[in-house]
Amino acid sequence: MLYYSTRDKNRRVTASRAISDGLAPDGGLYIPECIPRVSAEKLEALCKANYRERATYIMGLYLDEFSEDELRAMTEQAYGENFETESPAPLRFVDEETAYLELWHGPSCAFKDMALQMLPHLLTASLKKCGEERNVCILTATSGDTGKAALEGFCEVPGTRVVVFYPQDGVSEMQKLQMVTQKGSNVLVSAVEGNFDDAQTGVKKIFGDKALAERLNEKAVFLSSANSMNWGRLLPQIVYYFSAYCDYVISGKLRCGEKLDFCVPTGNFGNILAGYYAKRMGLPVGRLLCASNANDVLTEFIETGVYNRNRSFHTTISPSMDILVSSNLERLLMLLSESDSEVRTYMETLSEKGCYTVSDSVRQGVQETLSAGCCDDVRTKETIAAVFNTYNYLIDPHTAVAARVLDDYREKTGEKHPCVVVSTANPYKFASDVLNALGGEAEECRLLEALSEKSSTNVPAPLRGLHDLPVRFGGCVAKADMSALVENYLS
Ligand SMILES: *Cc1c(COP(=O)(O)O)cnc(C)c1O
Protein backbone atom coordinates (compact mmCIF):
# COMPACT_ATOMS: atom_id res chain seq x y z
CA MET A 1 0.00 0.00 0.00
CA LEU A 2 1.32 3.42 -0.91
CA TYR A 3 0.77 6.76 0.79
CA TYR A 4 0.21 10.12 -0.86
CA SER A 5 0.42 13.74 0.24
CA THR A 6 -2.82 15.61 0.99
CA ARG A 7 -1.49 18.41 -1.20
CA ASP A 8 -0.36 16.30 -4.16
CA LYS A 9 -1.90 12.94 -5.01
CA ASN A 10 0.95 12.16 -7.40
CA ARG A 11 3.50 12.24 -4.63
CA ARG A 12 3.32 8.57 -3.65
CA VAL A 13 5.71 6.91 -1.21
CA THR A 14 5.98 3.67 0.74
CA ALA A 15 4.82 3.44 4.37
CA SER A 16 8.41 3.32 5.57
CA ARG A 17 9.22 6.52 3.68
CA ALA A 18 6.09 8.24 5.01
CA ILE A 19 7.02 7.29 8.57
CA SER A 20 10.70 8.24 8.16
CA ASP A 21 9.86 11.67 6.70
CA GLY A 22 6.95 12.55 8.98
CA LEU A 23 5.72 15.44 6.86
CA ALA A 24 5.58 15.40 3.04
CA PRO A 25 8.09 17.78 1.42
CA ASP A 26 5.22 19.88 0.01
CA GLY A 27 3.96 20.55 3.54
CA GLY A 28 1.08 18.08 3.22
CA LEU A 29 0.33 15.06 5.38
CA TYR A 30 0.71 11.49 4.14
CA ILE A 31 -2.41 9.35 3.96
CA PRO A 32 -2.85 5.75 2.79
CA GLU A 33 -4.18 5.49 -0.77
CA CYS A 34 -7.01 3.18 0.31
CA ILE A 35 -8.69 2.20 3.54
CA PRO A 36 -8.66 -1.53 4.33
CA ARG A 37 -11.90 -3.15 5.54
CA VAL A 38 -12.30 -5.36 8.59
CA SER A 39 -15.10 -7.91 8.08
CA ALA A 40 -17.74 -8.75 10.69
CA GLU A 41 -16.19 -12.21 11.15
CA LYS A 42 -12.76 -10.72 11.68
CA LEU A 43 -14.16 -8.30 14.23
CA GLU A 44 -15.65 -11.22 16.17
CA ALA A 45 -12.27 -12.92 16.08
CA LEU A 46 -10.55 -9.76 17.35
CA CYS A 47 -12.91 -9.75 20.34
CA LYS A 48 -11.17 -12.91 21.53
CA ALA A 49 -7.66 -11.50 21.03
CA ASN A 50 -5.57 -9.42 23.43
CA TYR A 51 -4.45 -5.84 22.79
CA ARG A 52 -1.11 -6.80 21.26
CA GLU A 53 -2.74 -9.23 18.84
CA ARG A 54 -5.35 -6.66 17.88
CA ALA A 55 -2.58 -4.13 17.26
CA THR A 56 -0.54 -6.55 15.15
CA TYR A 57 -3.55 -7.24 12.92
CA ILE A 58 -4.85 -3.68 12.51
CA MET A 59 -1.44 -2.13 11.91
CA GLY A 60 -0.50 -4.90 9.51
CA LEU A 61 -3.38 -3.91 7.21
CA TYR A 62 -1.57 -0.64 6.52
CA LEU A 63 2.03 -1.86 6.54
CA ASP A 64 2.57 -4.50 3.88
CA GLU A 65 6.33 -3.93 3.94
CA PHE A 66 6.39 -5.30 7.49
CA SER A 67 6.02 -9.02 8.17
CA GLU A 68 3.58 -10.28 10.77
CA ASP A 69 6.46 -11.56 12.92
CA GLU A 70 8.14 -8.18 12.75
CA LEU A 71 4.96 -6.40 13.83
CA ARG A 72 4.25 -8.92 16.58
CA ALA A 73 7.71 -8.32 18.05
CA MET A 74 7.05 -4.57 18.00
CA THR A 75 3.63 -4.71 19.63
CA GLU A 76 4.95 -7.00 22.34
CA GLN A 77 7.67 -4.52 23.19
CA ALA A 78 5.54 -1.41 22.82
CA TYR A 79 2.60 -2.69 24.90
CA GLY A 80 4.30 -4.82 27.53
CA GLU A 81 5.55 -4.12 31.02
CA ASN A 82 5.98 -0.43 30.26
CA PHE A 83 2.22 -0.21 30.95
CA GLU A 84 0.94 -0.57 34.49
CA THR A 85 -2.13 -2.57 33.53
CA GLU A 86 -2.59 -5.97 31.89
CA SER A 87 -4.20 -4.30 28.86
CA PRO A 88 -2.59 -0.96 27.95
CA ALA A 89 -6.07 0.45 27.20
CA PRO A 90 -8.67 -0.85 29.67
CA LEU A 91 -12.36 0.11 29.58
CA ARG A 92 -13.91 1.31 32.80
CA PHE A 93 -17.74 1.32 32.92
CA VAL A 94 -19.58 3.86 35.01
CA ASP A 95 -23.06 2.77 33.85
CA GLU A 96 -24.59 0.44 31.23
CA GLU A 97 -24.22 2.96 28.39
CA THR A 98 -21.03 4.77 29.36
CA ALA A 99 -17.44 3.58 29.62
CA TYR A 100 -14.13 5.43 29.90
CA LEU A 101 -11.28 4.19 27.73
CA GLU A 102 -8.22 4.73 29.94
CA LEU A 103 -5.27 5.50 27.68
CA TRP A 104 -2.95 6.75 30.39
CA HIS A 105 -1.38 3.72 32.02
CA GLY A 106 1.95 4.18 30.19
CA PRO A 107 5.19 5.80 31.39
CA SER A 108 4.17 9.44 30.80
CA CYS A 109 0.63 9.04 32.20
CA ALA A 110 -1.05 10.48 29.08
CA PHE A 111 -2.50 8.96 25.91
CA LYS A 112 0.49 10.05 23.80
CA ASP A 113 2.22 6.89 25.08
CA MET A 114 -0.16 4.72 23.03
CA ALA A 115 1.56 6.02 19.90
CA LEU A 116 4.96 7.08 21.19
CA GLN A 117 5.78 3.71 22.76
CA MET A 118 5.24 2.26 19.26
CA LEU A 119 6.71 4.98 17.03
CA PRO A 120 10.40 4.32 17.86
CA HIS A 121 9.99 0.70 16.72
CA LEU A 122 8.16 1.73 13.55
CA LEU A 123 10.64 4.50 12.84
CA THR A 124 13.85 2.54 13.33
CA ALA A 125 12.49 -0.33 11.19
CA SER A 126 11.33 2.17 8.55
CA LEU A 127 14.75 3.82 8.40
CA LYS A 128 16.34 0.42 7.77
CA LYS A 129 13.83 -0.41 5.03
CA CYS A 130 14.58 2.93 3.35
CA GLY A 131 18.32 2.20 3.47
CA GLU A 132 18.84 5.22 5.73
CA GLU A 133 22.22 5.00 7.45
CA ARG A 134 22.31 8.35 9.22
CA ASN A 135 21.25 8.76 12.84
CA VAL A 136 17.97 10.49 13.45
CA CYS A 137 17.35 13.30 15.91
CA ILE A 138 13.74 13.71 16.99
CA LEU A 139 13.12 17.39 17.56
CA THR A 140 9.95 18.39 19.41
CA ALA A 141 8.26 21.46 20.80
CA THR A 142 5.74 20.41 23.41
CA SER A 143 2.88 21.97 25.31
CA GLY A 144 3.43 19.26 27.92
CA ASP A 145 2.42 15.72 27.11
CA THR A 146 4.16 14.96 23.81
CA GLY A 147 7.59 15.91 25.15
CA LYS A 148 7.63 13.42 28.00
CA ALA A 149 6.07 10.68 25.88
CA ALA A 150 8.72 11.19 23.16
CA LEU A 151 11.52 11.15 25.75
CA GLU A 152 10.23 7.91 27.24
CA GLY A 153 9.67 6.32 23.85
CA PHE A 154 13.06 7.13 22.37
CA CYS A 155 15.21 6.93 25.53
CA GLU A 156 18.24 4.70 24.74
CA VAL A 157 16.88 3.65 21.34
CA PRO A 158 20.05 3.01 19.27
CA GLY A 159 20.63 5.40 16.37
CA THR A 160 18.30 8.06 17.79
CA ARG A 161 18.52 11.23 19.85
CA VAL A 162 15.71 13.34 21.25
CA VAL A 163 15.61 17.08 21.82
CA VAL A 164 12.57 18.57 23.55
CA PHE A 165 11.77 22.25 23.95
CA TYR A 166 9.00 23.36 26.28
CA PRO A 167 7.72 26.90 26.96
CA GLN A 168 9.16 28.24 30.20
CA ASP A 169 5.77 29.19 31.62
CA GLY A 170 3.44 27.05 29.55
CA VAL A 171 3.43 23.60 31.17
CA SER A 172 2.15 22.25 34.48
CA GLU A 173 4.63 21.76 37.33
CA MET A 174 4.20 18.00 37.04
CA GLN A 175 4.79 18.01 33.28
CA LYS A 176 7.94 20.09 33.74
CA LEU A 177 9.28 17.81 36.48
CA GLN A 178 8.66 14.77 34.30
CA MET A 179 10.81 16.26 31.54
CA VAL A 180 13.68 17.89 33.44
CA THR A 181 14.34 14.70 35.43
CA GLN A 182 14.33 12.46 32.33
CA LYS A 183 16.97 9.70 32.34
CA GLY A 184 18.93 8.54 29.32
CA SER A 185 22.16 9.24 27.42
CA ASN A 186 20.49 10.30 24.15
CA VAL A 187 18.15 13.03 25.39
CA LEU A 188 18.23 16.80 25.79
CA VAL A 189 15.52 18.99 27.33
CA SER A 190 15.42 22.76 27.48
CA ALA A 191 12.94 25.47 28.39
CA VAL A 192 12.42 28.29 25.90
CA GLU A 193 11.65 31.87 26.87
CA GLY A 194 8.07 32.60 25.87
CA ASN A 195 4.92 30.59 25.22
CA PHE A 196 4.23 27.42 23.25
CA ASP A 197 3.99 29.33 19.97
CA ASP A 198 7.53 30.67 20.50
CA ALA A 199 8.87 27.17 21.11
CA GLN A 200 6.95 25.82 18.13
CA THR A 201 8.09 28.58 15.75
CA GLY A 202 11.66 28.09 16.90
CA VAL A 203 11.49 24.39 16.13
CA LYS A 204 9.90 24.98 12.73
CA LYS A 205 12.70 27.41 11.92
CA ILE A 206 15.30 24.75 12.75
CA PHE A 207 13.50 22.26 10.50
CA GLY A 208 13.52 24.81 7.68
CA ASP A 209 17.23 25.67 8.02
CA LYS A 210 18.83 24.09 4.91
CA ALA A 211 22.39 25.08 5.85
CA LEU A 212 22.00 23.44 9.24
CA ALA A 213 20.58 20.31 7.62
CA GLU A 214 23.65 20.21 5.37
CA ARG A 215 26.06 20.54 8.30
CA LEU A 216 24.20 17.82 10.21
CA ASN A 217 24.22 15.62 7.13
CA GLU A 218 28.03 15.78 7.11
CA LYS A 219 27.88 14.37 10.62
CA ALA A 220 25.49 11.64 9.41
CA VAL A 221 22.50 13.03 11.35
CA PHE A 222 19.10 14.24 10.17
CA LEU A 223 16.14 15.76 11.93
CA SER A 224 12.71 14.20 12.17
CA SER A 225 9.59 14.87 14.17
CA ALA A 226 7.40 12.91 16.54
CA ASN A 227 4.28 15.04 16.33
CA SER A 228 0.91 13.75 15.26
CA MET A 229 1.39 14.73 11.64
CA ASN A 230 3.45 11.54 11.33
CA TRP A 231 1.38 8.57 10.10
CA GLY A 232 3.42 6.41 12.48
CA ARG A 233 1.70 8.19 15.34
CA LEU A 234 -1.79 8.02 13.93
CA LEU A 235 -1.79 4.34 13.02
CA PRO A 236 -1.27 2.92 16.55
CA GLN A 237 -4.19 5.09 17.67
CA ILE A 238 -6.66 3.35 15.33
CA VAL A 239 -6.05 0.16 17.30
CA TYR A 240 -7.60 1.34 20.56
CA TYR A 241 -10.91 2.17 18.88
CA PHE A 242 -11.15 -1.46 17.73
CA SER A 243 -9.96 -2.66 21.10
CA ALA A 244 -12.51 -0.56 23.01
CA TYR A 245 -15.29 -1.85 20.78
CA CYS A 246 -14.21 -5.46 21.34
CA ASP A 247 -14.00 -4.96 25.11
CA TYR A 248 -17.46 -3.38 25.12
CA VAL A 249 -18.78 -6.49 23.35
CA ILE A 250 -16.91 -8.77 25.78
CA SER A 251 -18.59 -6.96 28.69
CA GLY A 252 -21.95 -8.20 27.40
CA LYS A 253 -23.33 -4.67 27.11
CA LEU A 254 -23.23 -4.56 23.30
CA ARG A 255 -23.78 -7.15 20.59
CA CYS A 256 -21.05 -7.40 17.95
CA GLY A 257 -22.29 -5.34 15.00
CA GLU A 258 -24.28 -2.84 17.06
CA LYS A 259 -23.19 0.79 16.91
CA LEU A 260 -21.00 2.40 19.54
CA ASP A 261 -20.40 6.17 19.88
CA PHE A 262 -17.11 7.73 20.96
CA CYS A 263 -16.58 11.11 22.62
CA VAL A 264 -13.03 12.44 22.21
CA PRO A 265 -11.29 15.40 23.89
CA THR A 266 -9.69 17.05 20.90
CA GLY A 267 -6.78 19.38 20.17
CA ASN A 268 -4.80 18.63 17.05
CA PHE A 269 -7.53 16.28 15.75
CA GLY A 270 -5.20 13.25 15.73
CA ASN A 271 -7.02 11.13 18.28
CA ILE A 272 -10.50 11.57 16.83
CA LEU A 273 -9.23 11.14 13.27
CA ALA A 274 -7.99 7.69 14.24
CA GLY A 275 -11.58 6.96 15.31
CA TYR A 276 -12.81 8.17 11.94
CA TYR A 277 -10.41 5.79 10.19
CA ALA A 278 -11.69 2.93 12.37
CA LYS A 279 -15.24 3.73 11.25
CA ARG A 280 -14.23 3.83 7.59
CA MET A 281 -12.56 0.44 8.07
CA GLY A 282 -15.93 -1.01 9.01
CA LEU A 283 -15.93 -0.74 12.80
CA PRO A 284 -19.59 -0.12 13.81
CA VAL A 285 -19.00 3.40 15.13
CA GLY A 286 -22.13 5.52 15.50
CA ARG A 287 -21.30 9.14 16.15
CA LEU A 288 -17.93 10.66 16.89
CA LEU A 289 -18.32 13.53 19.33
CA CYS A 290 -15.56 16.12 19.06
CA ALA A 291 -15.10 17.80 22.46
CA SER A 292 -13.25 21.12 22.79
CA ASN A 293 -12.43 23.42 25.68
CA ALA A 294 -12.88 27.22 25.46
CA ASN A 295 -10.80 27.07 22.28
CA ASP A 296 -13.88 26.08 20.30
CA VAL A 297 -12.66 26.48 16.73
CA LEU A 298 -13.57 22.86 15.88
CA THR A 299 -17.04 23.12 17.41
CA GLU A 300 -17.81 25.98 15.08
CA PHE A 301 -16.26 24.19 12.12
CA ILE A 302 -18.26 21.00 12.60
CA GLU A 303 -21.49 22.94 13.08
CA THR A 304 -21.05 25.45 10.26
CA GLY A 305 -18.32 24.35 7.86
CA VAL A 306 -16.34 27.52 8.61
CA TYR A 307 -12.85 27.12 10.06
CA ASN A 308 -11.80 30.40 11.64
CA ARG A 309 -8.63 30.71 13.68
CA ASN A 310 -9.02 34.47 14.01
CA ARG A 311 -10.14 34.45 17.61
CA SER A 312 -8.52 34.90 20.98
CA PHE A 313 -6.43 32.09 22.35
CA HIS A 314 -7.56 30.82 25.77
CA THR A 315 -5.18 29.29 28.28
CA THR A 316 -7.22 26.62 30.06
CA ILE A 317 -6.89 23.84 32.64
CA SER A 318 -6.86 21.36 29.73
CA PRO A 319 -3.67 22.77 28.12
CA SER A 320 -3.09 19.93 25.65
CA MET A 321 -6.24 21.07 23.86
CA ASP A 322 -5.29 24.75 23.75
CA ILE A 323 -4.84 24.93 20.02
CA LEU A 324 -6.26 27.01 17.19
CA VAL A 325 -4.90 25.16 14.17
CA SER A 326 -5.76 21.46 14.27
CA SER A 327 -3.26 20.02 11.81
CA ASN A 328 -4.83 16.62 11.31
CA LEU A 329 -8.08 18.11 10.07
CA GLU A 330 -6.30 18.33 6.73
CA ARG A 331 -6.45 14.55 6.46
CA LEU A 332 -10.22 14.52 7.06
CA LEU A 333 -10.68 17.18 4.37
CA MET A 334 -8.78 14.96 1.95
CA LEU A 335 -10.82 11.87 2.81
CA LEU A 336 -14.07 13.77 2.29
CA SER A 337 -13.24 15.88 -0.76
CA GLU A 338 -10.94 13.34 -2.44
CA SER A 339 -9.32 16.33 -4.12
CA ASP A 340 -5.77 17.47 -3.45
CA SER A 341 -6.36 20.79 -5.21
CA GLU A 342 -9.39 21.47 -3.00
CA VAL A 343 -7.34 20.72 0.15
CA ARG A 344 -4.50 22.90 -1.13
CA THR A 345 -6.92 25.78 -1.61
CA TYR A 346 -8.31 25.42 1.93
CA MET A 347 -4.82 25.37 3.42
CA GLU A 348 -3.63 28.34 1.37
CA THR A 349 -6.69 30.31 2.41
CA LEU A 350 -6.05 29.36 6.02
CA SER A 351 -2.49 30.61 5.92
CA GLU A 352 -3.43 33.84 4.07
CA LYS A 353 -6.67 34.77 5.83
CA GLY A 354 -6.73 32.54 8.91
CA CYS A 355 -10.11 31.25 7.78
CA TYR A 356 -11.75 29.02 5.17
CA THR A 357 -15.19 27.62 4.36
CA VAL A 358 -15.57 24.08 3.06
CA SER A 359 -17.87 23.03 0.22
CA ASP A 360 -21.41 21.85 1.01
CA SER A 361 -20.50 18.28 0.25
CA VAL A 362 -17.50 18.30 2.61
CA ARG A 363 -19.62 19.91 5.35
CA GLN A 364 -22.29 17.26 4.89
CA GLY A 365 -19.63 14.56 5.03
CA VAL A 366 -18.31 16.00 8.28
CA GLN A 367 -21.77 16.21 9.83
CA GLU A 368 -22.74 12.72 8.74
CA THR A 369 -20.35 11.31 11.35
CA LEU A 370 -19.18 14.08 13.65
CA SER A 371 -21.00 16.13 16.26
CA ALA A 372 -19.29 18.75 18.40
CA GLY A 373 -19.48 20.54 21.68
CA CYS A 374 -17.33 22.65 23.99
CA CYS A 375 -16.92 23.30 27.68
CA ASP A 376 -15.18 26.09 29.63
CA ASP A 377 -13.03 25.70 32.76
CA VAL A 378 -15.85 26.31 35.22
CA ARG A 379 -17.99 23.54 33.73
CA THR A 380 -14.92 21.31 33.41
CA LYS A 381 -14.30 21.55 37.14
CA GLU A 382 -17.99 20.99 37.91
CA THR A 383 -17.81 17.83 35.81
CA ILE A 384 -14.72 16.48 37.60
CA ALA A 385 -16.61 16.91 40.89
CA ALA A 386 -19.89 15.50 39.53
CA VAL A 387 -18.28 12.37 38.05
CA PHE A 388 -16.36 11.80 41.25
CA ASN A 389 -19.36 12.31 43.52
CA THR A 390 -21.73 10.25 41.38
CA TYR A 391 -19.51 7.36 40.31
CA ASN A 392 -16.56 7.61 42.69
CA TYR A 393 -14.38 7.91 39.59
CA LEU A 394 -11.57 10.43 39.19
CA ILE A 395 -10.97 12.02 35.77
CA ASP A 396 -8.54 14.64 34.51
CA PRO A 397 -9.58 18.02 33.02
CA HIS A 398 -9.20 16.90 29.37
CA THR A 399 -11.38 13.86 29.94
CA ALA A 400 -13.85 15.99 31.88
CA VAL A 401 -14.34 18.22 28.84
CA ALA A 402 -15.41 15.13 26.89
CA ALA A 403 -17.62 13.86 29.73
CA ARG A 404 -19.45 17.18 29.81
CA VAL A 405 -19.86 17.39 26.04
CA LEU A 406 -21.34 13.88 26.06
CA ASP A 407 -23.82 14.85 28.80
CA ASP A 408 -24.84 17.94 26.87
CA TYR A 409 -25.28 15.89 23.70
CA ARG A 410 -27.43 13.30 25.41
CA GLU A 411 -29.57 16.01 26.96
CA LYS A 412 -30.00 17.81 23.64
CA THR A 413 -30.91 14.70 21.65
CA GLY A 414 -32.90 13.06 24.44
CA GLU A 415 -31.21 9.75 23.62
CA LYS A 416 -28.63 7.69 25.47
CA HIS A 417 -26.73 5.41 23.11
CA PRO A 418 -23.77 3.34 24.31
CA CYS A 419 -20.72 5.59 24.25
CA VAL A 420 -17.03 5.42 25.09
CA VAL A 421 -15.45 8.54 26.55
CA VAL A 422 -11.82 8.54 25.47
CA SER A 423 -9.84 9.31 28.63
CA THR A 424 -6.54 10.94 27.74
CA ALA A 425 -4.60 11.69 30.92
CA ASN A 426 -4.09 10.40 34.42
CA PRO A 427 -5.81 12.87 36.81
CA TYR A 428 -2.63 13.06 38.91
CA LYS A 429 -0.85 14.72 36.03
CA PHE A 430 -3.09 17.74 36.63
CA ALA A 431 -3.28 17.27 40.38
CA SER A 432 -3.62 20.94 41.27
CA ASP A 433 -6.74 21.63 39.18
CA VAL A 434 -8.30 18.26 39.93
CA LEU A 435 -7.82 18.71 43.67
CA ASN A 436 -9.21 22.20 43.39
CA ALA A 437 -12.28 20.89 41.54
CA LEU A 438 -12.92 18.54 44.45
CA GLY A 439 -12.73 21.46 46.88
CA GLY A 440 -9.22 20.72 48.15
CA GLU A 441 -5.99 22.68 48.29
CA ALA A 442 -2.34 21.88 49.01
CA GLU A 443 1.18 23.18 48.57
CA GLU A 444 2.93 22.22 45.34
CA CYS A 445 5.09 19.51 46.90
CA ARG A 446 2.15 17.90 48.73
CA LEU A 447 -0.33 17.92 45.84
CA LEU A 448 -0.14 14.24 44.94
CA GLU A 449 -0.58 13.04 48.51
CA ALA A 450 -3.42 15.48 49.08
CA LEU A 451 -5.25 14.28 45.96
CA SER A 452 -4.67 10.70 47.01
CA GLU A 453 -6.19 11.36 50.44
CA LYS A 454 -9.11 13.33 49.06
CA SER A 455 -10.03 10.75 46.41
CA SER A 456 -8.90 7.52 48.11
CA THR A 457 -6.95 6.56 44.98
CA ASN A 458 -3.25 5.75 44.55
CA VAL A 459 -0.58 8.04 43.15
CA PRO A 460 0.60 6.42 39.86
CA ALA A 461 4.08 4.93 40.03
CA PRO A 462 5.68 7.12 37.30
CA LEU A 463 4.74 10.31 39.18
CA ARG A 464 5.69 9.09 42.64
CA GLY A 465 9.01 10.44 43.86
CA LEU A 466 9.48 12.84 40.94
CA HIS A 467 10.23 15.64 43.41
CA ASP A 468 13.19 13.63 44.75
CA LEU A 469 14.85 12.96 41.39
CA PRO A 470 17.82 15.14 40.38
CA VAL A 471 17.04 17.87 37.85
CA ARG A 472 19.21 17.09 34.82
CA PHE A 473 17.98 19.85 32.52
CA GLY A 474 17.50 23.13 34.34
CA GLY A 475 18.40 25.36 31.40
CA CYS A 476 16.34 27.90 29.54
CA VAL A 477 17.31 29.44 26.18
CA ALA A 478 16.16 32.45 24.21
CA LYS A 479 14.32 31.59 21.01
CA ALA A 480 17.28 32.82 18.97
CA ASP A 481 19.63 30.33 20.66
CA MET A 482 17.60 27.15 20.11
CA SER A 483 19.31 26.24 16.87
CA ALA A 484 22.83 26.56 18.32
CA LEU A 485 21.84 24.39 21.28
CA VAL A 486 20.65 21.62 18.96
CA GLU A 487 23.73 21.82 16.76
CA ASN A 488 26.10 21.75 19.74
CA TYR A 489 24.31 18.76 21.18
CA LEU A 490 24.57 16.86 17.90
CA SER A 491 28.26 17.68 17.37
C1 LIG B 1 -2.63 15.61 23.13
C2 LIG B 1 -3.77 15.54 24.10
C3 LIG B 1 -5.11 15.73 23.69
C4 LIG B 1 -5.49 16.13 22.28
O5 LIG B 1 -5.29 15.10 21.35
P6 LIG B 1 -5.23 15.41 19.78
O7 LIG B 1 -4.83 14.16 19.14
O8 LIG B 1 -4.22 16.51 19.64
O9 LIG B 1 -6.59 15.87 19.39
C10 LIG B 1 -6.11 15.57 24.64
N11 LIG B 1 -5.81 15.26 25.92
C12 LIG B 1 -4.54 15.08 26.35
C13 LIG B 1 -4.30 14.76 27.79
C14 LIG B 1 -3.48 15.19 25.46
O15 LIG B 1 -2.21 15.01 25.89
What DSSP line would sit under 267-283, residue for residue?
SSSHHHHHHHHHHHTT-
Q: Separation of 132 CA from ligand 1 center, angstroms?
A: 31
Is residue 112 annotated as part of the catalytic site, yes or no? yes
Atom of ligand 1 nearest to the CA of 228: 7
Burial of 457-467, coded b for 16+ CB within 10 Å and e otherwise, reads eebbebbeebe
Asked whether 191 and 475 are in contact (CB, 8 A), the reply is yes
Question: 266: Cβ below 6 Å to ligand 1?
Answer: yes
pLDDT in the model for residue 201: 81
Asked if residue 126 has its Cβ within 6 Å of ligand 1, the reply is: no
pLDDT digits over 454-476, tens only?
A: 999 999 999 998 888 999 999 99
Q: List, for residues 36-58, the tens digit of each pLDDT value.
A: 999 999 999 999 999 999 999 99
- Tens digits of residue pLDDT in 250-270: 999 999 999 999 999 999 999
Cα–Cα nearest to 143, from 186, 82, 192, 83: 192
pLDDT score recorded for residue 250? 98
Count of Cβ atoms closer than 10 Å to residue 133 Cβ: 9
- The whole-angstrom separation of Cα 157 and Cα 74 is 13
Phi, psi torsion values for 114, nearest 5 degrees: -55, -35
Contact 218, 185 (CB under 8 A): no
Query: What pLDDT does residue 143 have?
Result: 79
Rounded distance between C-alpha atoms, residue 485 and residue 491, angstroms: 10
CB 363 within 8 A of CB 301: no
Any ligand 1 atom below 6 A from CB of 269: yes
455 neighbors 394 (Cβ within 8 angstroms): yes
- State the sign of the Cα–Cα–Cα–Cα dihedral 369, 256, 51, 69: negative
The pLDDT, as a whole number, for residue 205 is: 87
Q: Could you tell me where the DSSP H helices lie in 281-396?
A: 297-304, 329-337, 340-353, 360-369, 377-391
pLDDT along the chain (491 residues), means of 10: 95 94 88 97 98 98 97 97 95 98 97 97 94 93 90 94 91 91 96 85 87 95 87 97 98 98 96 98 98 97 97 91 90 97 96 96 98 98 98 98 98 98 97 96 92 96 91 95 96 89
Give the per-residue pLDDT at 324.
Answer: 87
Helix axes 231-250, 270-280, angle to 10 degrees: 60
Cα 80–Cα 392–Cα 296 angle in degrees, nearest 5: 80
Binding site membership of 228 for ligand 1 (Cβ less than 6 Å): yes
DSSP-derived 3-state class of residue 192: strand
SS3 168: coil
Pocket test for ligand 1, best of 108, 111, 238, 422 (most atoms within 8 A of CB): 111
Å from CA of 228 to ligand 1 middle: 10
Report how far ligand 1's centroid is from the alpha carbon of 454 (Å): 26
The reported pLDDT for the residue numbered 227 is: 82
> Would you put residue 480 in left (φ > 0), alpha (ψ -120 to 50) or beta?
alpha
Distance 321 CA to ligand 1 centre (A): 6
Closest CA to 394 of 87, 143, 84, 92: 92
Residue 269 Cα: closest atom of ligand 1: 9
The SS3 of residue 360 is helix
> Which mutation among 175, 262, 321 tests ligand 1's pocket best, with the greatest number of atoms within 8 A of CB?
321
Amino acid occupying residue 177: L
Over residues 395-413, the pLDDT tens digits come to 999 999 999 999 999 999 9
Query: Which pLDDT score is estimated for 323?
Result: 85
